[in-house]
Amino acid sequence: MGLAAEYFDDGSSFLAIDPLSINPDALAEFSLFERYPPRDGVFRFRCLLMDTSAIDKDRLLELLGNWEKIYIHKKEAQAYKAYVRENLAFILNHEKILPKQKTDTLVALSTEVVKDSFAANFSSQADCVRVVENIRKLIAKAMDFISGTESLNGLASLIGHDYETHTHSIKVGWLTATFINSNRDLFDTGGVSELRELMIEAAVAGFLHDIGKIKIPQNVINKRGRLDNLEWIIMQSHTAYAASLLFESRLSHTAMQTIIYHHENEDGSGYPCGLANDQIPLMAKICHIADVFDALTSERPYKKAKTPFEALKLMAGDNPYLETLRKFESEAADNIKPPLTAIVRDDYEAKLRRLREREMLEEEAEKRVEARVKLRDKGMSHCFDLDLLRRFIITINKSESFDLAGLL
């Protein structure tokens, strides 16, 4: 791109990168710069290497080991991003790169590919296939990292942040793959390659489990409060939408089942089909646990994020008000208007009386939605396979970033 050997800049034209992210076995054509202390708010950037492909590998290794931080010009940012995407496995498996930096790199690339998926034209089979293949390629390069429990130290840094669909999907795929790797006895796989393929399919399903939400109205998706009963039912349709969007994507049977059934509850009270117990595919049960865990530990406009301990205690807790909760959920599913709790006096004018009756219905509906949400938060053990939930707790407790011993 005709970059100069030296620049004087306020820093806005350059991006800092870790020298260790440069793979000597896959050299790329972009320039590397060092930065000198500022004078009057202006830095001096001097080119260390104009072309990484024009240097001996051993010499490059020596230089990379000596540099603490290097910079690239923003003109070459896309070239560097493409380079990182191709060398993701090298970066994630590098022993000297810090876990946080690995996590940041993985999340940045994953967010980009998930956002691209949500923006795809699913009416085109070619686009459907491309979406799945792009996600699969990324996950395959990251699998050795995300399937190890040590990677949970990096994932833990994402816990408690604002809920964001793309990041949520990444965490669900990550948690599901890690669970499978730590609980291999649950899966009938013939060897390492078959297990790896299963983890990739599970992570792909996690990345795409909420893809159906692109068909949900934005006023429902972006509502900054609790969903009312009708909005709640509309939101539940995202699993069916996902199936229709991915129908021609060549997604595996296991991954498709996981996406469709990840909201089924162990007692049959879930959706879209009301499956129970062994009717629910194993992978969907695991994805359900990861999905709820991340949702509970994420910040929402209408609720604070729970700690991992609080979330899992709620998920494992028996609900003493289960029958009342089921009544409210059935009422919402059937779209039944709640009964009025008072009688409007007859001496109201007819127009005012009808207005007040409608207001009372809306007030009562809001109260029942609030009551339903509160009752749901009294315990969720009826939603999950408790053996799988126990295994999930044991799995993430292997990470030093989680302290869940009191739940075991």
Does the structure show a pLDDT above 80 at 54? no
Point out the domain boundary residue: 80, 103, 132: 80
Q: What is the mean pLDDT of the chain?
A: 87
**How sure is the predictor about 170, in pLDDT bands with cuts at 50, 70 and 90?**
very high
Same domain, 55 and 168: no
Amino acid code (one letter) for 16: A
Q: How far apart are CA 105 and CA 102, in angstroms?
A: 5
Site of tokens 């994402």 = 158
pLDDT at 65 exceeding the cut of 80: no
pLDDT band at residue 191 using 50, 70 and 90 as cut-offs: confident
Host domain of residue 53: 1-80
Residue 52 has a pLDDT of 64
Helix (H) or strand (E) holding 60: helix 57-66
What amino acid occupies position 270? G
Confidence of residue 134 (pLDDT cuts 50, 70, 90): very high
Please identify, among 49, 80, 111, the residue that sits at the C-terminal boundary of a domain: 80
Among 63, 80, 97, the domain boundary falls at 80
pLDDT score of 100: 84
Same-domain status, 300 and 269: yes
| Same-domain check for residues 61 and 98 | no
pLDDT beyond 90 at 309: yes
Is the peptide bond between 272 and the residue preceding it cis, with omega within 30 degrees of 0? yes
What pLDDT does 30 receive? 81
Identify whether residues 232 and 299 lie together within a single domain: yes
Q: Look up the CATH number of the domain holding residue 196.
A: 1.10.3210.10
Mean pLDDT of 150-179: 90
pTM of the model: 0.86
pLDDT band at 66 (very low <50, low <70, confident <90, very high): confident
What is the predicted pLDDT for the residue at 279?
97
**DSSP character at residue 212:** G
Q: Could you read off the pLDDT of 196-247 as tens digits, one per residue? A: 999 999 999 999 999 999 999 999 988 888 888 888 889 999 999 999 999 8
Which tokens in the block code for residue 270?
């879930």
Contacts of 371 (CB under 8 A, 6+ apart): 328
Diameter of the chain by CA atoms? 94
* Each residue's pLDDT tens digit, 286-298: 999 999 999 999 9
Whether residue 301 is found in the same domain as residue 326: no
- The pLDDT assigned to 25 comes to 79
What pLDDT score was predicted for residue 208? 96
Say if residue 75 is in the same domain as residue 184: no
- pLDDT tops 70 at residue 119: yes
Question: Is there a single domain that holds both residue 17 and residue 101?
Answer: no
Same domain, 283 and 201: yes
> Parallel, antiparallel, or unpaired: how do β-strands 42-49 and 6-9 relate?
antiparallel
Query: pLDDT higher for 348 or 174?
Result: 174
Tokens encoding 6: 């030296």
Give the per-residue pLDDT at 331: 76
Name the nearest CA neighbour of 269 among 321, 330, 210. Answer: 330
User: How is residue 53 written in tokens?
Assistant: 């492909």
* pLDDT at 111 (0 to 100): 92
Supply the pLDDT for residue 340. 58
My answer on whether 145 and 226 are in the same domain is yes
275 three-state secondary structure? coil
- At residue 306, the 3 state secondary structure works out as coil
The answer to whether residue 40 scores a pLDDT higher than 80 is: yes
Contact 222, 213 (CB under 8 A): no
pLDDT band at 303 (very low <50, low <70, confident <90, very high): confident
pLDDT value at position 322?
86
**What is the pLDDT confidence band of residue 341, given thresholds at 50, 70 and 90?**
low
Cβ-based neighbours of 154, under 8 Å, separated by 6 or more: 99, 100, 102, 103, 106
Whether 252 and 294 map to the same domain: the answer is yes
On whether both 314 and 333 belong to a single domain, the answer is: no
Residue 334 has pLDDT above 80, yes or no: no
- pLDDT score, position 343: 56
pLDDT beyond 90 at 87 = yes
The two structure tokens encoding residue 269: 């009270």
Q: Based on the domain organization, do 390 and 363 belong to the same domain?
A: no
User: Rounded to 10 degrees, what is the CA torsion of 133, 139, 144, 145?
Assistant: 160
> Cα(336)–Cα(143) distance, rounded to whole angstroms?
47
Number of structural domains found in the chain:
3
